[in-house]
Structures are given as structure tokens and as C-alpha cells.
């Protein structure tokens, strides 16, 4: 990891890998580890106003691709590789991501990292909301990486299928009882009463579990406990024995659904980049309302 101006990173490379979801108190105790990189995916305005000390800013727009009308695609490999190396990330870097909205953007970064087989990534539970409300320190000093991306050699490869589902894969598995779909959009989108693509409705057989249901607003937007989440999903038939494919409009909200399922211990989870912006704009995709 590159050092940043004013940092005094500690050499703690033998620290065990962190859990997928970590608490603010835990982050405070390890944030000076030289292999830790805290990544802020809040809005630029929010980052300028206040962020977690040591956190580098990453614009969410830079980690998603677009090919109108499809949005929320995987980023271009070269673009994402440049970002990874610009931040000084190596295979040993433990990334801790957070945002100001409850975790959607942070989870999308983690899913993208998983898609390139970088599994040393965690989400700060509750993100900036929990950190601020529980009175952990903030500052407004921009952290600038000293890494030279041309000197780094972390190669990005998105040809790793276990966490990515494309349209063809979903069509092939619509009748597969071992595969289930989770639609993380709001109920109006799911029922076809809101239109954000040429077609409205949902993918046939998809179960509705709006992304925000995973959040505990009374606990500063942390994920609900596993004991509360699992029965909710089981009731919908989204059980651990199945492969679950998550989607929303652009795999932003459903990225949190992906992380929620991994947090619960689901072994087979895929995100659908493009999501309804692709499915709802193609002519060869069936829909239900």
C-alpha cells in the first residue's frame, strides 16, 4: 500500500482477514494497518464536507459501465484496472468500503472486486450514517494516493462467472428450480406500475425483496440481524440451497442484496449487471406483471 501525506501506517500484515461486514468500532482499531484501504463512495460534496479519516474518495460513476440504454454494467477492464492501481491496491490490500446511503454503492464496489476475484473486501456496517451518529471522528482533508498506476501490475479479469449473471444465463435458467431471482426494486417497479425501460414488470418467477428491507433504520442503517433476515428470505423461497440471482434497475440497489446474501452465508449468489435497464429494453426477454 502507498502511504498518504500525514499518515503513519502500521505494519500489521499478519492481521487476519476481516469479515465481510465490520462495525465502526472495529474499523477504528485497525484503520492504521498499512494493508487497509478505506474507500468512500459517498457523493463528492459529502466527501469534501466530512469523511472518515484516511478514507480515499472513489466516484461511483467510475466503477460502473454504460451502453445506453443499458446502465450499471461492469466497468471497462482498462478503466477499472487504472483505478485499482491508482489507489495502490495489491492482492494483499483489505478494502473497507462505505457510503452515505445505507450501503448500495459500497456493496457495488465489493461485488465488482469479487468479480475480479479480490475477496479481501468489507463493508462498514451502517456506513457514514452510523459512523457519524455514533460520534466517531471525521475530517475534511482530502486523501490523495501517492501510487503511480504505471508502476503497479494488478491485472483485472472479469471473466469469472460465479458472481456475474448475464441475460442469456438467466433465460437459460428460468425453469431451473435450483436457481431463484431476487428483485430489489420498489413494488411499483416490480408490478410494472413504474416505467424506466421499454417494458415494465419483472423477470418471470422473480421474488420481490426491496433492498431497503435489509436495513435497520433504528440501528443507523446497519443490516438487519441474520436472525431477522433469514426467515424473511426463506418465506419467499430464497433459500440457501439455491443459487440466487439479484437485480434491480442497474445493479446498484441489488448490490446490497448480493452483499446481504453473502453476509448470511449463501454460497451461490450472482449479480446481474445492467439488470432491468437491459432486460426491460431487449426484445427477446419475457416479463411478468
The whole-angstrom separation of Cα 74 and Cα 190 is 23
The whole-angstrom separation of Cα 181 and Cα 35 is 36
92 is catalytic: no
Residue 66 belongs to what H/E stretch?
A: strand 65-67
Query: Helix 253-263 crosses helix 226-235 at what angle (to 10 degrees)?
Result: 110
How does DSSP assign 84-114, residue by residue?
HHHTT--TT-EEEEE-SSSSHHHHHHHHHHH
Q: Which of 20, 39, 109, 248 is catalytic?
A: 248
211-220 long-range contacts (CB < 8 A, ≥24 apart) are 211/104, 211/184, 211/185, 211/248, 211/253, 211/254, 211/256, 211/257, 212/102, 214/256, 214/257, 214/260, 215/102, 215/103, 219/126, 219/130, 220/126, 220/129, 220/130, 220/133, 220/134
List, by residue number, the catalytic residues: 248
Amino acid at each position: 500500500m502507498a502511504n498518504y501525506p500525514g499518515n503513519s501506517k502500521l505494519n500489521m500484515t499478519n492481521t487476519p482477514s476481516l469479515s465481510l461486514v465490520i462495525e465502526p468500532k472495529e474499523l477504528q482499531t485497525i484503520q492504521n494497518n498499512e494493508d487497509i484501504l478505506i474507500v468512500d463512495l459517498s457523493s463528492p460534496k459529502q466527501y469534501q464536507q466530512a469523511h472518515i479519516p484516511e478514507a480515499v474518495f472513489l466516484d461511483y460513476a467510475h466503477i460502473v459501465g454504460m451502453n445506453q440504454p443499458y446502465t450499471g454494467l461492469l466497468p471497462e477492464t482498462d478503466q477499472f484496472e487504472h483505478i485499482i492501481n491508482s489507489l495502490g491496491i495489491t492482492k494483499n490490500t483489505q478494502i473497507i468500503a462505505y457510503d452515505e446511503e445505507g450501503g448500495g454503492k459500497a456493496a457495488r464496489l465489493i461485488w465488482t472486486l469479487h468479480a475480479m476475484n479480490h475477496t479481501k473486501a468489507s463493508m462498514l456496517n451502517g456506513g457514514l450514517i452510523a459512523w457519524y451518529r455514533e460520534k466517531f471522528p471525521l475530517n475534511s482533508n482530502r486523501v490523495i494516493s501517492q501510487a503511480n498506476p504505471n508502476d503497479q501490475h494488478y491485472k483485472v479479469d472479469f471473466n469469472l462467472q460465479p458472481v456475474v449473471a448475464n441475460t442469456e444465463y438467466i433465460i437459460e435458467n428460468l425453469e431451473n428450480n435450483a436457481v431463484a431471482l431476487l428483485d430489489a426494486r420498489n413494488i411499483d417497479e416490480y408490478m410494472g406500475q413504474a416505467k424506466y425501460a421499454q417494458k415494465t414488470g419483472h423477470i418471470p418467477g422473480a421474488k420481490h425483496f426491496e433492498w431497503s428491507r435489509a436495513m435497520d433504520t433504528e440501528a443507523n442503517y446497519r443490516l438487519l440481524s441474520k436472525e431477522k433476515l433469514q426467515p424473511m428470505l426463506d418465506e419467499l423461497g430464497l433459500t440457501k440451497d439455491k443459487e440466487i440471482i439479484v437485480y434491480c434497475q442497474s445493479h446498484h440497489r441489488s448490490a446490497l442484496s448480493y452483499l446481504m446474501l453473502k453476509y448470511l452465508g449463501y454460497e451461490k449468489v450472482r449479480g446481474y449487471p445492467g439488470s432491468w435497464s437491459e432486460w426491460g429494453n431487449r426484445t427477446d426477454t419475457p416479463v411478468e406483471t
